[in-house]
Amino acid sequence: MTRPVQLTERINRIGPSATMAAVAEAEKLRQAGIDVVDMTAGEPHFTTPEHIKEAAIAAIRGNFSKYTAVGGTTELKDAIIQRHSTDFGSAYKREETCASVGGKHALFNVISVLVDHGDEVILPVPYWVSFKDMVRYAGGHCVLVKADESQGFRVTAQMVARLITPKTKLIILNSPSNPSGAVMSPEDMTEVVRLAQERGIWVISDECYVYLNYTDKNFSVGSLNEYRDRFLVVGSLSKTYAMTGWRLGFTLGPAEVLSAVQKLQSQQTTNPTSFVQKAAVAALSSSQQCVADMRAEYITLRDHIVGGLRAIPGIKCTMPEGAFYAYPNVSWFFGKSGIKCSADVAHGLLHTAHVATVAGEGFGTNEHVRISYATSMQNIDKALERMRKYFSEL
């Protein structure tokens, strides 16, 4: 007789990633021979720039294949610090820096060392799927701040301030945002970290899309040296340099927290892959033209898809100011052909129109679908055409 598997209460607190589930469902259809236009991608459609690949190949050939220091080589830490200082005017030291196996790993580690049982964590909605589960896994409880769609989902300091209680331990910011593409103003970000310092709260600023900010005010909280003892910046090379599979992210913040992060990392992954660190140094230290080129292309794709979505009767779509997602409101179709929520829309789009999107429910809203425009113009046109037909027939 087989015994039921008894898993921990901890693992039962979290669910699988909604975006990964959408990707898997689209893949099932593709395996069945259906031509699916995939708009679920949480990653650039570009390939990793050649000079970065060459650096990794040289590192492998040069046998750079041993363990390194847990938080990355000093060469990599210096490259992270220098890049951030040049771009945002920050001033971090090596002991305030840790390289991890992707931004997700960095976030998981920081949340694990800061959030305890019963702690409240303020999280803007819509949120990136993993924040809520990471907080829950750590034993915390998310207090959600609903961003105003009519204001482009921009989060303000005032919205956050209203939810601070004596139990608040942490505020999570993500600008530019996945999934809405909203960008917080530098003034609001500054006010949030000022408030955090005043009230003894932590801020994690997830800046994985910071180089895909399409406003003329690119900003990192890392530049706010006067409040630096209360916030952590999490960055990633994934989106910036089209390196999602390489897995290289980092945290910048107070040495005491970074030391705890490295202690945790020393008991799990140890260092990020050695030769990926060499590639990361090449990415961060050489010309940033590739980043500018990709950013310019994303702006063209964004303008095209948002224009196309807005031209579909019934769809409302805010203009994303960063990242590579459109987050259209599809609630006009609720009540038509049995559709009740955005999960039904995403299901219909996939199974009838053969366009894969991610339903808003995973991001905390049920009136939207997330559409990634990190794909070719040809794919965008194909998806728009299929969506136009699908919605017109509801």
Ligand X SMILES: Cc1ncc(COP(=O)(O)O)c(C=O)c1O
Which spans of this chain sit near ligand X (rule: CB under 6 A)? 42, 102-104, 128, 174, 178, 206, 208, 236, 238, 244, 249
Q: Which is nearer to ligand X, 271 or 331 (CB)?
A: 271
Q: At its nearest, how many Å lie between ligand X and the CB of residue 389?
A: 30
Q: Which is nearer to ligand X, 40 or 197 (CB)?
A: 40
Q: At its nearest, how many Å lie between ligand X and the CB of residue 338?
A: 32
Q: At its nearest, how many Å lie between ligand X and the CB of residue 104?
A: 3
Q: Which residues contact 61 (CB under 8 A, 6 or more apart)?
A: none
Q: Which is nearer to ligand X, 42 or 364 (CB)?
A: 42
Q: Which two tokens stand for residue 110?
A: 């920081």
Buried b (16+ CB within 10 A) or exposed e, 262-279: bebbeeebebbbbbbbbb
If 0-12 CB within 10 Å is exposed, 13-18 middle and 19+ buried, where does residue 62 land? exposed
Q: Which is nearer to ligand X, 47 or 392 (CB)?
A: 47
Q: Which is nearer to ligand X, 19 or 156 (CB)?
A: 19
Q: Which is nearer to ligand X, 298 or 390 (CB)?
A: 298
Whether the bond between 313 and the residue before it is cis, its omega within 30 degrees of 0, is: no
* Cβ(207)–Cβ(175) below 8 Å: yes
CA dihedral over 286, 287, 290, 292, signed as positive or negative:
positive
Q: At its nearest, how many Å lie between ligand X and the CB of residue 337?
A: 32
Nearest residue to 138 via CA among 118, 160, 168, 165: 118
For residue 192, what are the CA distances in angstroms to 162, 210, 268?
11, 17, 32
Q: Which is nearer to ligand X, 253 or 348 (CB)?
A: 253
Q: At its nearest, how many Å lie between ligand X and the CB of residue 103?
A: 3
Gap between the Cα atoms of 38 and 291, Å rounded: 24
For residue 263, what are the CA distances in angstroms to 70, 256, 267, 346?
9, 11, 7, 42
Q: At its nearest, how many Å lie between ligand X and the CB of residue 30?
A: 21
Q: At its nearest, how many Å lie between ligand X and the CB of residue 206?
A: 5
